[in-house]
Amino acid sequence: MRRIDQLGEDTLIPGEDDAGFPCGLERVYFAHRNSRVPLYTKKNDVEFPERWRENAQISYESGIKFTDLLPDQSPLRDADMVIGIPASGVPFARGVSTGLAIPYENKLITKVKESRSFLESDLSKIAANVNEKLQINFPEKWKGKKVIIADDSIVRGNTFGEITRILHKLGVEEVHFVSGFPPLRYPCHLGVSIRDSKELIADGRNEEQIAQEIKKKAKVPDDFIVTVSYLQQEQLKEATGGHELCFGCVDGKYPVNKDGTVDVFIRKRVD
C-alpha cells in the first residue's frame, strides 16, 4: 500500500497476496443484485469467476441467517407477510420470508425513478425523493395486517418514516422493519457518502430507540407498534464466505485511517 501526498511517496505496508478488506456496505447497498462477486474462500478466487456468486443469492442467504437467531417469542414470527423495498431489499426479504415460512408479498414497488435517497445532503430533497420512489400496491388489502418490511440497510430512516406513515393510514396493525446490514453508526472516509455520524439514525440509539425515532418521523400515535431488527455482522460475514470485510461504518474500525496510516487490526492480520 502506497501513500502519495504533499510530502512525496511512502510505503505504508508491503503488498500482500490477499483479498484485502472489501466494503461490506457495497455488497448489500450499492452492488446490483445480479452482479457476481468473489467470496475469497480460496486464495486465488479472483482469478476464477466460476467460483463467484450472485449478490442476490448472498442477500437471500443473509435473510435466512437473520431468522436463525430470532427468539421463539419474536413478534416477527406472527407477521402475516414479508415485503421487500425494491430493488436491493427484495432478495434479503425473500430470505426472511423463507426462514420464517411467512408469505412474501409484492405490495410495495418502486416508481420509474429509482435513486439513493441517503446520498442527498439536502433534507427537502430527501423527502421528495422518498415520495417519488414509493408506491403501495393493493391498498385495500393492508388493513389489520402485521407486516415485515425488509431492506438492504437503514441509513437515515427517512424512507422508513414515510412507509410507517402510509401504512398507519392504511390500517396496518404492526410494522416490523428488518435491515440486511448491521446498524450504521460511523462516518466513512473511504468512498461511501457518510460525512457525519449525526446523519445516521442508529447514532447513539439502540433498536427500540431507532423504532421510536421512525415513529417520530412518521408522526404516528405512540401506541402504534413499530420494531426494528438488524442482521448481525457475523451473519453477514458468513453469507459472504467468511472473508473479512470493511465494517468501518458499523464498528469504527477502518482498514486505512484518515491520515493514511494502516489500522492496528490490519497490521496484526498481516504480521
11 — pLDDT class (breaks 50, 70, 90) = low
Please state, in angstroms and as integers, the Cα–Cα distance from residue 223 to each residue in 4, 78, 205, 214, following that order. Answer: 56, 18, 20, 13
3-state secondary structure 145-173: CEEEEEECCCCCCHHHHHHHHHHHHCCCC
Which cell is 267 given?
A: 497490521
Over residues 145-199, the pLDDT tens digits come to: 999 999 999 999 988 998 999 899 999 999 999 999 999 999 988 877 788 898 8
Over residues 133-154, the pLDDT tens digits come to: 677 788 888 999 999 999 999 9
Sign of dihedral through CA atoms 183, 72, 241, 96? negative
- 167 or 6, higher pLDDT: 167
Per-residue model confidence (pLDDT) at position 88: 82
Residue 235 CA to residue 64 CA, distance in Å, equals: 10
218 touches 164 (CB < 8 A)? yes
How much of the chain exceeds pLDDT 70, in percent? 73
CB environment 46-58: b (16+ within 10 A), e (fewer): eeeeebeebbbeb
